[in-house]
Chain A
Amino acid sequence: MKYGLGLIAVAAITAVAGTAAISDSNADKAALAAVKARQSQMTLYAFNIGLLGGMAKGNVEYDATAASAAAANLASLSKLDQSRLWPQGSDNETLGHDVTEALPKIWAADSDIAQKGMALVEAATAMESAAGGGLDSLRGAMGPLGKSCGSCHETYRQAKN
Chain B
Amino acid sequence: MRILLKIIVVLGVVAAGALWMLSGPNPLPKDTMAGLTGDATRGETVFWAGGCASCHADPKAEGEDKLVLSGGYRIESPFGTFLAPNISPGPAGIGDWSDLDLANALMHGLSPEGQHLYPALPYTTYIHMQPQDVADLKAYMDTLPVSDVASLPHELAFPFNIRRGLGLWKLVNLSESWVMTQANTPELERGRYLVEALGHCAECHTPRDVTGGLDRDKWMSGAPNPSGKGEIPAIDPANLDWSAGDIAYYLETGFTPDYDSAGGQMAKVIAGMAHLDSSDRDAIAAYLKALP
B252 touches A143 (CB 8 A): yes
A146 touches B260 (CB 8 A): no
Given contacts A46-B258, A53-B249, A150-B261, contact A158 B267 (CB under 8 A): no
Bitwise, A148-161 to B at CB < 8 A (1) or not (0) is 01110110011111
Report which of A47, A50, A146 forms a contact with B253, defined as CB distance below 8 A: A146
Q: Which residues of chain B (233-251) have a CB below 8 Å from chain A?
A: 233, 245-246, 249
Report which of A46, A58, A97, A149 forms a contact with B254, defined as CB distance below 8 A: A149
Report the bound CA distance from A131 to B73 in whole Å: 37
Chain A residues within an 8 Å CB radius of B260? 46
Q: Which residues of chain B (25-75) have a CB below 8 Å from chain A?
A: 62
Given contacts A57-B245, A150-B270, contact A157 B263 (CB under 8 A): yes
Report which of A59, A150, A158 forms a contact with B271, defined as CB distance below 8 A: A150
A151 touches B259 (CB 8 A): no
Report the bound CA distance from A53 to B261 in whole Å: 12
A49 within 8 Å of B by Cβ?
Answer: yes
Given contacts A57-B249, A153-B261, contact A161 B230 (CB under 8 A): yes
Report the bound CA distance from A59 to B262 in whole Å: 21
A145 within 8 Å of B by Cβ?
Answer: yes
Nearest CB of B to A50, in Å: 4
Chain A residues within an 8 Å CB radius of B268? 154
Given contacts A57-B245, A150-B271, A159-B229, contact A49 B265 (CB under 8 A): no
Chain A residues within an 8 Å CB radius of B270? 146, 150
Chain B residues within an 8 Å CB radius of A157? 263-264
For this complex, into which size category does the number of interface residues on chain B fall? 20 to 34
Report the bound CA distance from A45 to B256 in whole Å: 13
Chain B residues within an 8 Å CB radius of A160? 230-231, 233, 263-264
A53 touches B259 (CB 8 A): yes
Report which of A49, A154, A158 forms a contact with B259, defined as CB distance below 8 A: A49
Nearest CB of A to B189, in Å: 25
B274 within 8 Å of A by Cβ?
Answer: yes
Q: How many A-B residue pairs have CB under 8 A?
A: 78
A147 touches B264 (CB 8 A): no
B159 within 8 Å of A by Cβ?
Answer: no
Given contacts A46-B260, A150-B270, A159-B228, contact A145 B253 (CB under 8 A): yes
Q: Which residues of chain B (195-225) have a CB below 8 Å from chain A?
A: 225
Chain B residues within an 8 Å CB radius of A49? 255, 259
Report the bound CA distance from A56 to B258 in whole Å: 14
Of the candidates A45, A59, A146, A151, the one having the most CB atoms from chain B within 10 angstroms of its own CB is A146
A113 within 8 Å of B by Cβ?
Answer: no
Given contacts A53-B259, A149-B261, A159-B228, contact A154 B249 (CB under 8 A): no
Report the bound CA distance from A35 to B160 in whole Å: 43
A sample of 26 inter-chain contacts (CB < 8 A) reads A45-B259, A46-B259, A50-B258, A53-B255, A58-B245, A97-B229, A142-B255, A146-B254, A146-B270, A147-B253, A147-B254, A147-B271, A149-B261, A150-B254, A150-B261, A150-B270, A151-B62, A153-B262, A154-B262, A157-B264, A159-B228, A159-B230, A159-B263, A159-B265, A160-B264, A161-B231
Contacts A147-B253, A158-B229 aside, 20 further interface pairs with beta carbons under 8 A come to A46-B260, A97-B229, A142-B255, A146-B252, A146-B270, A147-B271, A149-B254, A149-B261, A150-B263, A151-B62, A153-B262, A153-B263, A153-B267, A154-B262, A154-B263, A154-B264, A157-B263, A159-B266, A160-B233, A160-B263
Q: Which 6 A-B pairs have the closest CB atoms?
A: A153-B263, A146-B253, A154-B267, A159-B264, A149-B261, A150-B267
Task: Give the interface of A toward B (CB within 8 A).
Answer: 45-47, 49-50, 53, 56-59, 97, 142-143, 145-147, 149-151, 153-154, 157-161
Task: Give the interface of B toward A (CB within 8 A).
Answer: 62, 225, 228-231, 233, 245-246, 249, 252-255, 258-268, 270-271, 274
